[in-house]
Amino acid sequence: MEYNFYKIYGLTIKSSIPLHDSIKINNPNFYDVKIDYGKVYSENNIDTCSIGIFNFSPDNITFKVRDVASYKISNGNTITVDTEGNSCFDEIKKYVLGSSLGMLLLQKNIVAIHGGAVVIDDNAIIISGNIGAGKTTTIANLLNKGYGFLSDDVSAIMKNNNNTYSVQPCVPQQRLCKNTVHILGHNIYDLVQVDKLKDKYLSPQVNNFVRSEKKLKAIFYLDTTDASKVTYEEILGAEKFKLIMSNIFRKEFIPNKFIKPPYIKDCLAIAMSTPIYKISRPKNKDSVNEIILIIEKLTKGDFKND
């Protein structure tokens, strides 16, 4: 079996499944996570909790994607992939880099927020938000302005020694919808279609990829509204904590008891130390430029509301 080593979310990963060439590292002395093909059996014991396709037990999280593969994430250090028939390699890999690594972060008590991360002035900001609120378009436009890229869909937040928090780099690729592909001036035929259902395309190499962790400076939550212009407000108090908890990656599938106290405590500490802004944009109007201006102002300024 041929293995390669990669750095993702600050973790050293040994994998027999090729993940992404540009984040390969030379043989390290140790690794945090091993990814391999193998058999995955469904667990059905008294401790198993199931929500949707995900099954949680104290040591393992398993899920099965029809016509693709079954995945088992164990003890925060092993991912096992059991492929089905003629499943397509890009599809298999998509669930390794997405849900599998996301669930592994949960097992390791590393907070993972559903949202991408961009670097502005050497600090990380997280762009989270409702489905269809414009996360991907906003991130793509920030990258077009030359800002750095850390992650597309999952932001892993780790505690530093001095009680501050940093966002870790993921993989230099972005999933774009057709509309964004055109806005960015890519040729759609150069990109790989990764999700036929949602019409998503993979931008395989992001130019401004940042390879080191960056201090978390702010979280932006995007939402749509019936109002006619873009507005923003700073979220305060327990609402900050609530917003972080409800935007944990795949939260809707995680039984409450599998979110452990250290994880919740980190969410609370992040809520205390990080400004969180909600930006609301009109539903049917392209307002990405206004959103970018607000994000730049709040990130580069002194965090005062007007």
Partner 1 sequence: MIKLNKINKETILSRKPDLDCTELDGDIVMMDLDKGEYFMLNPVANSIWENIEKPIAVSDLISNLMTEYEVDEKTCYLNVIDFLGKLNDSNLLVINN
- Report the nearest approach of partner 1 to the CB of residue 235 (Å): 10
Pairing mode of beta strands 148-151, 111-120: antiparallel
Contact indicator for 219, 232 with CB cutoff of 8 Å: no
Instruction: Give SS3 for 237.
Output: coil
Contact indicator for 3, 15 with CB cutoff of 8 Å: yes
Report the residue from 51, 192, 227, 238 that binds partner 1 according to the rule CB under 8 A: 238
Task: Based on the shown chain and the rule CB under 8 A, indicate whether residue 197 belongs to the binding site for partner 1.
Answer: no
Contact indicator for 154, 102 with CB cutoff of 8 Å: yes
Q: How many residues bind partner 1 (CB under 8 A)?
A: 18
Task: Based on the shown chain and the rule CB under 8 A, indicate whether residue 183 belongs to the binding site for partner 1.
Answer: no
170-208 as b/e, with b when 16 or more CB fall inside 10 Å?
A: bbbbbbbbeebbebeeeeeeebeebeeeeebbbbbebeb
Contact indicator for 167, 154 with CB cutoff of 8 Å: no
- Report the nearest approach of partner 1 to the CB of residue 238 (Å): 4
Task: Based on the shown chain and the rule CB under 8 A, indicate whether residue 178 belongs to the binding site for partner 1.
Answer: no
Near partner 1 by CB under 8 A, which window of 91-99, 118-126, 182-190, 236-244? 236-244
- Report the nearest approach of partner 1 to the CB of residue 20 (Å): 34
Residue span 250-289 as binding mask against partner 1, x where in contact by CB under 8 A, dash where not: ------xx-xxx--xx--x--xx-----------------
- Give contact residues for partner 1 (rule: CB under 8 A): 236-242, 245, 256-257, 259-261, 264-265, 268, 271-272
